[in-house]
Each structure stands twice: as structure tokens, then as C-alpha cells.
Chains A and B, each alone.
Chain A
Amino acid sequence: MSKYRNLLIGTAIAAMAAMPAYAGKFGLGRPALPEEVAAWDLDVSPDGTGLPVGSGDALTGEEVFADNCAICHGDFAEGVDNWPKLAGGDGTLADKDPLKTVGSYWPYLSTTFDYVRRSMPFGAAQTMSDDDVYAIVAYILYSNDIVDEEFVLSNENFLDVKMPNADGFIVDDREESEKHFWTEPCMENCKEGEVKITMRAAVLDVTPEEEGAEEAKAEMAPAAEETPVVEEAKVEEPVAEEPAVAALDPELVKAGKKVFKKCKACHQVGEGAKNKTGPELNAVMGRTLGGIDGFKYSKTMKAMGEEGTVWNEETLAEFLTKPKKYVKKTKMSFAGLKKEKDILAVTEYLKSFSQ
């Protein structure tokens, strides 16, 4: 501790005298405070180093998971669309198309805890309590049939859980197993007979079309389209009959476009928008809650729509402030927008897609 105080003093002197302060050769930087290290040093190692005190059971985890994770990972951790599957795949690693999940592939449980606590949910990282993280991890184990539903995971029993693929890894051995790649390259008659084409990419047809290039060209052309969004709104004006559309504030629309980045992981809007993890948002203003046929809304959202609730400035603002408060059990895992100006902006932005 005394050393530490000296260092602080040292830094202060250095700041005035512009000379090296302590241990290091250059005397740059300053000592990290214990609170600072504690705030950032969250990683958990396979031997349990870094695990916080806490616990959570699989049943609680199921609920927390449903609220925070299921929108992308599915109610049973089976994965939605292209989002990662967290359960299943046991015994498939040697198959042609292995299914790599926490249960079938991940060698250490610490990795799951570490990642969920540090980086999940997607778009609202570091918002869950440690106990909730324990509960979610317990649920993921349960959904992989590694523990039963009464299981309580805690820092005490964490190392007792044996991951099925714990022994499935070897350290990089390329320099041994691929020793034959260090060789004298052949220059003549390296293959016998005529070389034949065995597979063609054009047959598969998965290469993106060239539409992107045209758009970029338009963007690079000088003064091409400064405010495309507003133009679009203008086109819609005669049909829409809404004074609000004509009165769109282009600055606010622009700001809203930025805020919408937070929504883009799940929602599409604009030309060709489709339902993804969340419903598409074209003409959402004026739409009944849960109003898109075929999209799987929460029961609450559906019921509110059936009662006649419609998305407008007020309802949307209330929802976006605290989604789970306005529509209880909504499937939208987003935590909400804290700033009123962000809500106003994103609303304005959505209004610009009012066909």
C-alpha cells in the first residue's frame, strides 16, 4: 500500500516536472485503481478464477432465458434463423455437418459464463445480475441434458460440471501432422492425364448479385441524393393523407436513422423489408399492435392489438421507454431507449416509412 501511495505522488510530480514517475522506463500512464481493475477484469478461466459469488437454478434460468435470449436462441436454445443454436448436436462432431453447441462442443463451462456475463444479451450486454447469469448457464446445461431441472449452479459447484467435449481438443499440431506440406514443389507432369473440372460455383448460385455496386456508384456521384428518406416520404404524401408525413423534420429523421441501428439486429424497415427476429416496420405507425399476419408475437402484444391498441407517438414512446413494462412478456429483448430525444428521433424515422 505504501508503495502505491508513493507512486501516486510520483505521478503528480511527474505531471509538473515532465519526468519519469515510477517503475517503468518512460513513466507514462498512471497506476490502475483497484476499483478500475475490478470493473473491467471480468474474465473467468477454466479453473474458476474470476467467478463471482452467486447461484441460479435451471428453472429460474428458463424464465430469464425466455425473456432475454429466446428471441434469437429460441425457447429451447435451439436457435432462431441464423442465430446460434446453444443446445443439441450431441455426437455429431464427426458428421459431415456437425452441430456445434455449448453441449456438443464447448470444452469449458467457464466460457459460457464468461461470455454471457460479458457480452449478452446482444444489444444489452452487461445488464444481467450474476445470479441471472448463473441461472441462464444452468438452463443452457439443462437444455443440453447435462443437468436436471432442479439443478442449482453456483460458484461452489461450478467446477463439478463435466462438459461432454472437454477432451475433444488438441493443441495445434500442423507442423507435425502437415509436415509433408514442407516439400519441393513439382513443376512438370504434376498430374496424370487431363485435369477435369469436378465442381462449379456458378451451378450453386450463392454469390451475391451486383446490386450493391450500383448503389455505391450513386452514392459516390456528386450530390446524388442528399435526403433519400424525405424524398420517399414526399412520394407517399398524396396517398398517406397524414399531415405528419409532410411535416417530417429531416434532421430528426436523420438522427432517428442513427438510433435505429440499435434496432437493426432484429427489425427491417424500408424497401423490401421482411420480418426477421422482429416484425418489419414499414407503416408501423397506425398499425394495430401485433398486426402482422404470420409473425409470432407474444400473447400480450396480440391481446393488446385485439383490444384495439394502435401504434402511435404515445404508445410507441411508452413501449420504447420500457418495452417489458408496456407490453408484459413481449418477446422483444431490447432494454429500452433511455433518452427521450432518441425516442422522438426513431419515431420520426419510422414515420418516414409510412406506406
Chain B
Amino acid sequence: MTVRFKGKAPSRRAFLKGTLASTAGMVAGAGAASAATPDPLITQKQEWAMGLGDGVDATPYGLPIQYEGDVIRRNVEWLTADTISSINFSPIHALDGTITPQGCAFERHHSGAIDLKKEDYRLMINGMVDQELVFSYEDLERFPRVNKTFFLECAANTGMEWAGAQLNGAQFTHGMIHNMEYTGVSLRTLLEEAGVKPEGKWVYVEGADASSNGRSIPIEKALDDCIIAFKANGEALRKEHGYPARLVVPGWEGNMWVKWIRRIEITDQAIESREETSKYTDTLEDGTSRKWTWVMDAKSVVTSPSPQSPIKHGHGPLVITGLAWSGRGAITRVDVSKDGGRTWETARLANPGQPMALTRFYLDTQWAGEEMLLQSRAVDETGYVQPTKAMLRETRGENSIYHNNCIQTWWVKADGEAENVEVS
């Protein structure tokens, strides 16, 4: 229900633990080592090279191999009163590329993930239309389809970091995000089927779950690029992401991407529901609050090295990588700093930025065991440059909760371990 953004009191224990971890770490020599003795993994016959592996149907629906068991969504228990109305985080520190597998894409529910069969699914369009309509799931599959990849970022992503560096891991600071390829019907197609009347200025969308999570969206956006999606990454949506159908609102805050979408009402005013007044509004320093802050500002984060993904190899070549995205369009450039923002070098984009989708960046570099204050900074096609936390605090104060798109700093130590810090 309530997402709390203040941590527990500082603890001495953690401080000590941190110190221990850094002395116990590795620092191997630089460059390519030459082998002194033959590697038994090569010289001895291995079991897997002699016997047989699993047959084809060992796992009819495949799961990651057990060695990848730590690449999972994680929850921060103290944030919410219970897990039913709560959030968890995608393991972005351990992923690469841009597509988030559904099984580890973060979840956010307001009344729990409901079990809704395709046969029981109905989508209603009502209000200021020529004809109020009801669609079945089958109906949706008969409209022309679109395929598009978009990021979904919760407006509260990085929200716990407003007041200071708090959670130690890219998963926890930036993991309320995923990026999937959606298949579905353009919302415009459905609205045209019902015929929007000229006085219709807004659409109010709601889900079939108890929270309903109603949100008002201006008609221009609804007719522009929104999708009623039923597939993600090629397969049916997962229950936790709104099976059998959810709304996709490209570039806009995740809360508007209503799951289990059951109704679209065309109205002449915003409904001002709970999710767009008491929540998902941003309180500024003087106590006034911004509302209708839908678009997600350009943002980026280094996913590795990071606290959960320390440097484990020796000195020499190092791949610094991360993700960048913008709700206003495509990412055109990402810069990386190793000295806390004094000097920057431009990273390599794995692929040209796509509008409102995650972009992967790499900085192929050398590391000689020096401490780094690693940062990344995204620039989007509108020329927006990801701000520092100080710049954000200057215009917004520290109480905004949502839309924290500040530059993140990881302190990479001589032993390769990394920590979430704030810098001057």
C-alpha cells in the first residue's frame, strides 16, 4: 500500500562488514597469465564429455540453469506493509542486452496479481463514443496487430535515493524497470472502432483487479502510440504483468500501464483517481505538488561493475556496461565518468537508440586496480541531459519520491568491490 522511502537507522554492523569485505577481496595480477601447470579441466576427461545429458523434454518449459539461481527479482521488505500491495526489482545488474526476460521482470501490484482466464476476459469501451462496445479476448486477436519494444519504468524507481545513497545494488536503486517486445492492438484501432466523440478529451483506463488502478490519459496520447498488449517477448503476458491483456503507454510512468485492463472510458475531464492524486504526484520543496508528470525523463545507470556485480577478474581489460532510456524518444549518447563527474568519455551504444526503449552501452576500457567513482549520463534526442542529484534537489527538493532520474555513482574500490555512494 504505502511505499516508504526512508530507511532504517544506520548500523555499525554494516560498516564493519563492509570493511571486512574489502580486505578479504582479491587483487590478481594484470594481463594474460601464463599457466604453470596443465589445466585438469582440459587434460582430464570430464564426465559431461563422456556420459549423456538430459533428453529433450526434461523441462517442457525451460528455466535458467541452477547456476544462474541468483538472477531473480528481489523485494525490499521494509518498503511496504505486505507483499500483495508491493513491488520487487529486476536483476538488471546480472542481465545484458536490452530485453528483460518476463520471469525476472519486476512486479508491482496494488491488490495482488490476479488469476484471469482468457475466457473470462472482457474489455469495455464506454463514455463519449458513438457505440459503447465489449470485446472478448478472441476479438482482440482479430484486429491488426503491432509489435513494438518499450521500457516500462515505475515512477518510483530510484525513489528511495532522494535523501541520500541508501540501497546497495543497481537492482534495488534502478530495478523497477523492464523492457519487452509487445504484441497487441493499437489503442487507436479500438477507439476508432467505437468512434470517439469530439467532446472526448481523456480516456480513463482501469484494471479488473480490486485496486482497479484507474488512470486518466489525454486522448492525444491514447490515439498516438498506446497498445493493448497480450504478448510480451513472443509469449503470453505473465500473470504478474497483467495476463491476458495490459495497456502499454510508451515512455510514460509504469503505473499508467494498467494490467488486466477491463475498461476504457472516454470522458471530458480527468477522473483524478487515487493513483493520480494521492500517489504519483511529486511534492516540491515549498509543499506544492506537480501532477500529471507522466513522461519519464532520460536516465541511465551502470549495471556492471556495481555493488552486486563487482569486478572479479584481475587488472587489464574491463567492460563497463549499463542501460539508458528516455520517455521523450531515443537515446543518442551516453557518457561515462570514472572520477565522479570531473571528466567524461563517450560510451559505445550496442545499437542505435530506439524511441522509448532501453539502450545498452559499453565502455571497453582498462583497469589497473585504481579506485573509481563510476557514473553514466544519458542524452536523448530532444537534447535533454540526465542531471546530477544536486541539480534535481535544487529544483525539486528531497520529497518528490517519484521521477528521480539523477546520475548514479558507484564507488569501485581497489579490490573490485563497489558501493552506492553520493559525491560532492
Contact = CB atoms under 8 A, between A and B. Distances in A.
The range of chain A's interface size is 35 or more
Given A40-B262, A84-B1, A197-B421, A217 B292 contact: no
Contacts of B11: 203-205
Contact of A125 (B111, B124, B167, B294): B111
A207 B189 CA distance: 45
B263 A111 contact: no
A25 B294 CA distance: 31
A115 B271 CA distance: 11
B259 to A, nearest CB: 14
Contacts of A200: 18, 165, 411, 419-421
Interface stretch (B38-46, B61-69, B347-355): B61-69
Interface residues of B, number: 121
Given A26-B193, A43-B273, A205-B14, A36 B134 contact: yes
B272 A46 contact: yes
Interface in A255-289: 261, 264-266, 276-277
B391 A181 contact: yes
B147 interface: no
A7 interface: yes
B34 interface: no
Contacts of B10: 203-205
A29 B135 contact: yes
B77 A122 contact: no
B134 A96 contact: no
Interface in B123-179: 124-127, 130-136, 139, 142-143, 164-169, 172
B85 interface: yes
Interface string A237-270: 0000000000000000000000001001110000
A202 interface: yes
A197 B164 CA distance: 12
B134 A29 contact: yes
B2 A82 contact: yes
A30 B133 contact: yes
Contact of B423 (A49, A182, A198): A198
Interface stretch (B229-237, B317-325, B356-364, B375-383): B375-383
Given A40-B263, A43-B204, A94-B285, A203 B14 contact: yes
A157 interface: no
Nearest to B58: A222
Contacts of B307: 201, 207
A189 interface: yes
Contacts of A340: none
Interface in A86-127: 93-94, 96-98, 100, 102, 105-108, 110-111, 114-115, 118-119, 122-123, 125-126
A197 B412 CA distance: 12
Contact of A122 (B111, B273, B391): B111
B419 A32 contact: no
Contact of B77 (A125, A183, A208): A208
Contacts of B210: 119, 122-123, 125-126
A106 B278 CA distance: 5
B166 A204 contact: yes
Interface stretch (A164-172, A291-299, A302-310): A164-172
A128 to B, nearest CB: 13
A145 interface: no
Given A28-B142, A114-B274, A202 B341 contact: no
Interface of A: 7, 22-26, 28-32, 36-37, 40-41, 43-47, 49, 72, 79, 81-84, 93-94, 96-98, 100, 102, 105-108, 110-111, 114-115, 118-119, 122-123, 125-126, 168-174, 177-178, 180-191, 195-208, 210, 212-213, 216-222, 261, 264-266, 276-277
Given A102-B278, A181-B391, 7 more contacts: A46-B272, A114-B271, A186-B344, A187-B343, A197-B422, A202-B14, A203-B14
6 contacts: A36-B134, A37-B132, A102-B278, A185-B335, A197-B421, A202-B168
Interface of B: 1-2, 4, 6-8, 10-11, 13-15, 17-18, 63-66, 68-70, 72, 74-78, 80-85, 110-112, 124-127, 130-136, 139, 142-143, 164-169, 172, 189, 192-195, 204, 206, 210-212, 214, 262-263, 265, 267, 269-274, 277-278, 281, 283, 285-295, 297, 307, 335, 339-345, 373, 377, 379, 382-385, 387, 391, 395, 398-399, 411, 419-424
